Amino acid sequence: MRITKFGHAAVRVEYDGRVLLIDPGVWTGAEAIDGADAVLITHEHPDHVDPALLRRTDAPVWTIEAVARDLEANAPDVAERVLVIEPGEEWSAAGLDITAVGELHAVIHPELPRVTNSGYLITDGTTRLFHPGDALTGPGEEVDVLCLPVSAPWLKVSEAIDFARGVGAGRNLAIHDKVYSEAGLGIVDGHLGRFLGAAGQDYVRLPEGADLD
């Protein structure tokens, strides 16, 4: 399994000559979606889904009902190839086995309604990757690689640390990293590296387009 980090929350997974892309949003470069065989969208916020990028491929798109409704209203040409999934649903795409995890976005503010959100547990039979979207809902089972949100209006660094330690993945790949400046991310990297390193867990934040070794 080849794992490549693209802009903000987008992660590209290549396996056996096929490509699965997660959360290509408005801060994701177009090259991320080229050649995609399947796309997963966690929720409706534009930093996670951009119809203009989805139009660059004819790949099927798996996502939750709220995203499907938005695409039907605003991008009906894309909506024609959307498949709606439910929490806990299991299926296969691009040669990978996938499970939908969770139902709700993290709380931004108590006075704002929570939108729905699905994380995705992905495996090739050897490596298990988890992308939570905008939530701190764990997969409830062991994973090898956690895509770890590190900057967001709904997130404190202490919450990111506790989430990563709770999931317990050996490797933690920083995602959702376009919200803070490089200076701010440097502080976050320092905290996560220190706390996760003490727990025997690896932490890395990659430049756009770089592979997880």
142-166: per-residue pLDDT in tens?
Answer: 999 999 999 999 999 999 999 999 9
**Rounded to whole angstroms, how far apart are CA atoms 177 and 148?**
10
Residue 29: pLDDT band by 50, 70, 90 thresholds? very high
Q: Which CATH number does the domain housing residue 108 bear? A: 3.60.15.10
Predicted pLDDT at 58: 96
**Rounded to whole angstroms, how far apart are CA atoms 44 and 71?**
9
In a domain? residue 89: yes
Predicted pLDDT at 96: 98
Strand order in the sheet with 2-5: 82-84, 61-63, 38-40, 18-22, 11-15, 2-5, 210-211
In a domain? residue 12: yes
In a domain? residue 185: yes
| Residue 7, domain extent | 2-206
Q: 43, 115 in Cβ contact below 8 A?
A: yes
What pTM does this model have?
0.97
111-141 pLDDT, tens digit per residue, is: 999 999 999 999 999 999 999 999 999 999 9
Structure tokens at 142: 């062991």
Predicted pLDDT at 81: 97
Domain count across the chain? 1
Q: 88, 66 in Cβ contact below 8 A?
A: no
In a domain? residue 211: no
Predicted pLDDT at 18: 98
164-186 pLDDT, tens digit per residue, is: 999 999 999 999 999 999 999 99
In a domain? residue 105: yes
In a domain? residue 153: yes
In a domain? residue 26: yes
CA neighbor of 6 nearest in space, from 30, 42, 38 = 30
Predicted pLDDT at 7: 93
